[in-house]
Amino acid sequence: MFLIESEQQISAEYKRQGYVIRPVADLEALSWIRKQFVLLIQSALGSVPENDPEVLLNQIHKRVTISDLNTFRLKIIRGINAIENFRAMYFRVARPYLETIVGNELAMQLRVNLSIQFPGDDSSLLPIHADTWSGDSPFEVVVWLPLVDCYGTKAMYLLPPEPAERLSQEFKQRAGSSSEELYQAIAHQVQWLNVKYGEVLIFNQGLPHGNRVNTEIETRWSMNCRFKGVFTPYGDKKIGEFFEPITLRVASQVGMAYSLPKTL
């Protein structure tokens, strides 16, 4: 392969670990994104005073009850996905890393997802899973972007490639196991991914991952969005329904529109 040294390094790291964590590629875009969240929170909660975004986000559990959390989260999700250029800004924070890991003709998920996990809350858990188990394409990657420092149980965990391959080989034997039983079987092998505000995580969604009860004293805010090569195979989530091309190159556009001249 004709990759330059920096491309070889990040590629090898992604293949070995199943993820990479890097400083965001565009701090201006990240600041703009977090500002939109502050504005949406102020709109949703009414009389929220102007606050340090770090404090507002980390301590949001003091303003929203667990019973109201899902309604609040859905309101914020609808808000961010209604903002013009939000997805373009999201792409900017990870663009050079995506172009190295995935390619420069990309399809992006139509909606950005949001996770808000209060301290001690067991209602917002994501049991261990791999997205490919439910029909996602193995050619997809997830761009996971925190709005606050995520560490310990305030973060997410991932099962690295080698133990994930062993689990895959044993999967038939574990038929009938609950997600909790499955997690307990591999808990000693999972890796907790500490990602600070100002960093972005790109991971292989074909590897088992999830979260647990947040035992830290702060709330987790993280977004996730899937990307893949436009011309790589799609799973159950199709182009036009779940993905849309965002960086289709002109030669591809011309080629897709081309038809041979008629001879008869």
Q: What confidence score (pLDDT) does residue 158 get?
A: 98
d(CA 261, CA 264): 9
Say if residue 224's pLDDT is above 80: yes
The pTM score is 0.95
What does the pLDDT read at residue 49? 67
Under 8 Å between Cβ of 120 and 213: yes
pLDDT tens digits for range 19-53: 999 999 999 999 999 999 999 999 999 877 667 99
**Per-residue pLDDT reduced to its tens digit, 132-167:** 999 999 999 999 999 999 999 999 999 999 999 999
User: Domain extents for the chain?
Assistant: 13-231
SS3 category, 37:
helix
Tokens matching residue 148: 């606050």
Checking if the pLDDT of 123 tops 90, the result is no
Among 28, 30, 52, which Cα is nearest to 41's? Answer: 52
Rounded to whole angstroms, the Cα distance separating 255 from 22 reads 35
Q: What's the CATH number for 13-231?
A: 2.60.120.620
Question: Is residue 97 a contact partner of residue 199, using CB atoms and an 8 Å limit?
Answer: no
User: Collapsing DSSP states into helix, strand and coil, what is residue 140?
Assistant: coil
Give the strand order in the sheet containing 156-158. 191-193, 156-158, 209-210
